[in-house]
Chains A and B, each alone.
Chain A
């Protein structure tokens, strides 16, 4: 565009980023499709966006808090950047129960996507990271932006200087740590987005042992912990020895339908130390105080309501609703003879289409059934040949999607 340029050089790290973050890209294709078929009823099982209303007990508490801001007694200005004390306590006691997590180790935030970047800011550009392959894109993209990586290589579909740990059916969707080179930081998401796999206790014990031996830091994303059905751990801190090697991030988004309300938290244990003995929590606190000003007090009031005993029951029933959706979708694909993974401990089904390119499958599904999914390669080269189907949707839409898939693929 014609105009006067400044003399400010564009940040080279921004240049390294591949075109378009995955989910806005899919949204764009959805829009194009809707223009092409204005009468089609498009069902979105793509972006993992919650669809069911938030229980009354939670929203009424947020509404009350909002109204009280109009009163002299109820008005509150700036909150503590680390979060409301009562909420931090409730998270520690309710969600970490008998694990020795202190409220002072909990930092309330406006969600995991922001926390991931704040953690990257904390770590700086001189650390190396490892991610699962496939993985939630934000770990990689934030790493590129901060300057931890080299260039993207088209041939491999990977950024230089990031260690990609393949997670496949063959290795039970958990990295083979015996062949994994060491990095400073290891990002692990469990239950996993996109594969839906929840790491077993044994797998996490191996991971913690690996991190202790190599003295790395694990960043454990437990955003889908509420979806665990079996005995799989819901927090990395269930594993002995984790406090000295792990940070845990989590979110109310998929737990309470807070995708738009914005609330999450990060746990940084006191025992986690940098190589010179300096506590990581001190630096994270400084980041939070300097680069952030606290989550919205209204969202925090909602979070507190979620953690009351009635609130927990109410949000868990919505989680169960989505889990039932996941089961329906999983069963559908299985009945069609496809290999399906995940779906049991997570709201995602990871479907294998051997020999096919995932964008082609995405396009064909969209074209022929008007269903939006997510092509697996959007999560990394290890996602090729797979499609992620998200279980967030109204039951009728899930059932309708199921019918369309059966008629297309049987």
Chain B
């Protein structure tokens, strides 16, 4: 199936067809002419005929040259006959965060002396506590010894780590070690879940939301085309989350879908759903026979009594999968470690356990998280490790407070921040990419434009609280200067 993106001119492949057609045309003409008596043709008629052929040839050559100039600026080369995956063609531009990184780099080239501060990509900045890194160093060194060397690990993760995750985070929620699948992070898990679900499921996301849910859905073929007027992909149910509805979707207006992606505490809005809201969400999923994919990557940032796991809600085990990560807890953004919980009670419509299929996916398309990262994870969940993680999280929470106070004092409506390392600032009536660019240009601070997370994110800027204290304070100083 050929993909036709908006600009057709660059993609028309004239090469395939023209040589053959030209040959056919000439051949047909010759054959036709053979039927006529040769001596009936006067020299004048012959001259005209040859001129016609020459003219046609020149026209075709022009066409070839024009088209090859319009193609990609690579020399005429071999093309395979493999059709580009039409789903890939649906994607709009690049994934959001590399795009932000690109703009940041461009800005740094433009202003080589500027001290650019990044509060854009939610990238951790503080060193990992020693109790954790020494666990990883120890494991690395052990791999050089006979007794300490280990090869392939279980694809689902090391038993001790699975048990530690189960007892630390799901202790009294009766989630077992065998329900836990250790991974190299939430982003990979989201795609593995999508591969498992396949292309014939429908999905709902919050609007705005972490881009990987939507993009992975497009890639798997669950969606229709991107509709530029509404900035949404066909066949995805977007659940608006804004100040008016307290950043929790009005479920009475949400159509049934097979899968519902829900992130709480939320990236990008920073909102943490209440127990009451999540109870309604679980009921909604149950009534619709849907599967809830619950992203709890920021649970440790909760400062009030909002639920930290979907499994705190009774009945959730029959409707929900939970995805989580060590990235924002332990600064493991580069180390790569996370996990997914698939309860035994979660069943497809034919009664087949979802966990069995996820296990098969994990065994076939994955080969386990790095054993060194897993050793780090185990160290994280020791009493000393937990305490150390809480300290680092506390540091980022303090950053969040500083940023919130700054924007509040400048008269902005500010959301999130209390239960997440993100501050969601409202710029009513303004295009978020314009605000992003203005802030970057005038303060050299990188943020993230809300529309990058979905159409309902427009008019908002996400400010992430990951940064050295000095940088956060400096950024806030610059914000104050810009918006005073």
Q: Which residues of A contact B (CB under 8 A)?
A: 1, 3-14, 17, 21, 24, 47, 49-56, 58-60, 62-64, 66-67, 69-72, 74-79, 81, 110-111, 113-114, 116-117, 121-127, 138, 141-142, 145-147, 184-185, 212, 214-217, 241, 244-245, 257, 259-262, 270-279, 283, 286-287, 289-299, 302, 392
The answer to whether A62 and B372 touch (CB under 8 A), given A9-B349, A113-B367, A147-B199, is yes
Residues from chain A with Cβ under 8 Å of B483 in the complex: none
- Say yes or no: A290 contacts B191, CB within 8 Å: yes
Residues from chain B with Cβ under 8 Å of A54 in the complex: 143-144, 149
Known: A7-B290, A185-B82. 19 other contacts (CB 8 A): A1-B344, A6-B290, A6-B347, A7-B349, A8-B289, A8-B349, A9-B200, A17-B360, A21-B364, A76-B334, A77-B125, A123-B85, A141-B364, A216-B82, A273-B78, A274-B80, A277-B13, A292-B187, A299-B370
Q: Which stretch, B161-169, B211-219, B403-411, B423-431, touches the partner chain A?
A: B211-219
CB neighbors of A among B352-397 (8 A): 352-353, 357, 360-361, 363-373, 376
Nearest chain B CB to A263's CB is how many angstroms away? 8
- Say yes or no: B121 contacts A78, CB within 8 Å: yes
B322 interface residue per 8 A CB criterion: no
B87 interface residue per 8 A CB criterion: yes
- Chain A residue with minimal CB distance to B138? A63
B196 interface residue per 8 A CB criterion: yes
Residues from chain B with Cβ under 8 Å of A299 in the complex: 370, 372
- Say yes or no: B84 contacts A14, CB within 8 Å: no
C-alpha spacing A49/B150, complex, angstroms: 9
C-alpha spacing A69/B379, complex, angstroms: 14
Residues from chain A with Cβ under 8 Å of B372 in the complex: 62, 66, 261, 296, 298-299
B24 interface residue per 8 A CB criterion: no
Residues from chain A with Cβ under 8 Å of B373 in the complex: 296, 298
Residue of A56, A78, A290 with highest tally of chain B CB at under 10 A: A290
C-alpha spacing A4/B77, complex, angstroms: 57
- Say yes or no: B345 contacts A3, CB within 8 Å: yes
C-alpha spacing A298/B145, complex, angstroms: 18
- Chain B residue with minimal CB distance to A295? B336
Residues from chain B with Cβ under 8 Å of A146 in the complex: 195
Residues from chain A with Cβ under 8 Å of B125 in the complex: 75, 77
Which A-B residue pairs are the 4 nearest by beta carbons?
A7-B289, A11-B198, A124-B85, A117-B365
CB neighbors of A among B1-54 (8 A): 1-3, 10-11, 13
22 chain-A/chain-B pairs, Cβ below 8 angstroms: A10-B352, A12-B198, A54-B143, A63-B138, A75-B126, A81-B98, A125-B199, A126-B86, A184-B81, A216-B81, A271-B78, A274-B83, A287-B219, A289-B97, A290-B95, A290-B191, A292-B191, A293-B336, A296-B373, A297-B335, A297-B336, A298-B372
B201 interface residue per 8 A CB criterion: yes
C-alpha spacing A293/B133, complex, angstroms: 20
B127 interface residue per 8 A CB criterion: yes
Residues from chain A with Cβ under 8 Å of B134 in the complex: 66-67, 70
Nearest chain A CB to B255's CB is how many angstroms away? 14
Nearest chain A CB to B192's CB is how many angstroms away? 8
- Say yes or no: A289 contacts B98, CB within 8 Å: yes
- Say yes or no: B370 contacts A70, CB within 8 Å: no
The answer to whether A286 and B95 touch (CB under 8 A), given A21-B360, A53-B149, is yes
C-alpha spacing A261/B348, complex, angstroms: 34
Partner of A260, one of B121, B153, B336: B153
Residues from chain B with Cβ under 8 Å of A10 in the complex: 348-350, 352, 357
- Say yes or no: A291 contacts B219, CB within 8 Å: yes
The answer to whether A257 and B191 touch (CB under 8 A), given A121-B219, A124-B86, A276-B2, is no
**Per DSSP, are chain A's interface residues mostly helix, strand or loop, or mixed?**
loop
- Say yes or no: A69 contacts B367, CB within 8 Å: no
The answer to whether A293 and B187 touch (CB under 8 A), given A145-B361, A259-B151, is yes
C-alpha spacing A272/B79, complex, angstroms: 7
- Chain B residue with minimal CB distance to A114? B366
Nearest chain A CB to B334's CB is how many angstroms away? 4
Chain B: residues with Cβ within 8 Å of the partner, total of 113
- Say yes or no: A122 contacts B74, CB within 8 Å: no
Partner of A6, one of B129, B153, B319: B319
Nearest chain A CB to B366's CB is how many angstroms away? 6
B449 interface residue per 8 A CB criterion: no
Residues from chain A with Cβ under 8 Å of B289 in the complex: 5-8
The answer to whether A8 and B291 touch (CB under 8 A), given A63-B140, A124-B86, is yes
- Say yes or no: A145 contacts B195, CB within 8 Å: yes
B182 interface residue per 8 A CB criterion: no
Residues from chain B with Cβ under 8 Å of A116 in the complex: 365
- Say yes or no: B335 contacts A298, CB within 8 Å: yes
Nearest chain B CB to A124's CB is how many angstroms away? 3
Residues from chain A with Cβ under 8 Å of B153 in the complex: 260
Nearest chain A CB to B422's CB is how many angstroms away? 16
C-alpha spacing A402/B22, complex, angstroms: 68
Residues from chain B with Cβ under 8 Å of A56 in the complex: 144
- Say yes or no: A217 contacts B82, CB within 8 Å: yes
Partner of B201, one of A8, A126, A127, A276: A8
C-alpha spacing A117/B192, complex, angstroms: 10
- Say yes or no: A275 contacts B95, CB within 8 Å: no
Residues from chain A with Cβ under 8 Å of B364 in the complex: 17, 21, 113, 117, 138, 141-142, 145
- Say yes or no: A257 contacts B151, CB within 8 Å: yes
Residues from chain A with Cβ under 8 Å of B421 in the complex: none
- Say yes or no: B366 contacts A113, CB within 8 Å: yes
The answer to whether A274 and B84 touch (CB under 8 A), given A1-B344, A3-B347, is yes
Partner of A53, one of B10, B145, B184: B145
- Say yes or no: B370 contacts A296, CB within 8 Å: yes
Residues from chain B with Cβ under 8 Å of A216 in the complex: 80-82
C-alpha spacing A59/B143, complex, angstroms: 7
Nearest chain B CB to A114's CB is how many angstroms away? 6
Residues from chain B with Cβ under 8 Å of A64 in the complex: 137
Residue of B128, B143, B198 with highest tally of chain A CB at under 10 A: B143
Nearest chain B CB to A410's CB is how many angstroms away? 32
C-alpha spacing A11/B364, complex, angstroms: 15
B474 interface residue per 8 A CB criterion: no
Residues from chain B with Cβ under 8 Å of A296 in the complex: 184, 334-336, 369-370, 372-373
- Say yes or no: B188 contacts A142, CB within 8 Å: no
C-alpha spacing A125/B366, complex, angstroms: 19
C-alpha spacing A385/B330, complex, angstroms: 51
- Say yes or no: B288 contacts A7, CB within 8 Å: yes
Nearest chain B CB to A207's CB is how many angstroms away? 14
Partner of B334, one of A147, A272, A294: A294
Residues from chain A with Cβ under 8 Å of B455 in the complex: none
The answer to whether A271 and B74 touch (CB under 8 A), given A138-B364, A276-B2, is yes
The answer to whether A290 and B212 touch (CB under 8 A), given A6-B289, A9-B348, A298-B136, is yes
Residue of B87, B130, B137, B148 with highest tally of chain A CB at under 10 A: B137
Nearest chain B CB to A88's CB is how many angstroms away? 16
The answer to whether A75 and B128 touch (CB under 8 A), given A3-B318, A117-B365, A272-B80, is yes
C-alpha spacing A146/B364, complex, angstroms: 12
C-alpha spacing A110/B319, complex, angstroms: 31
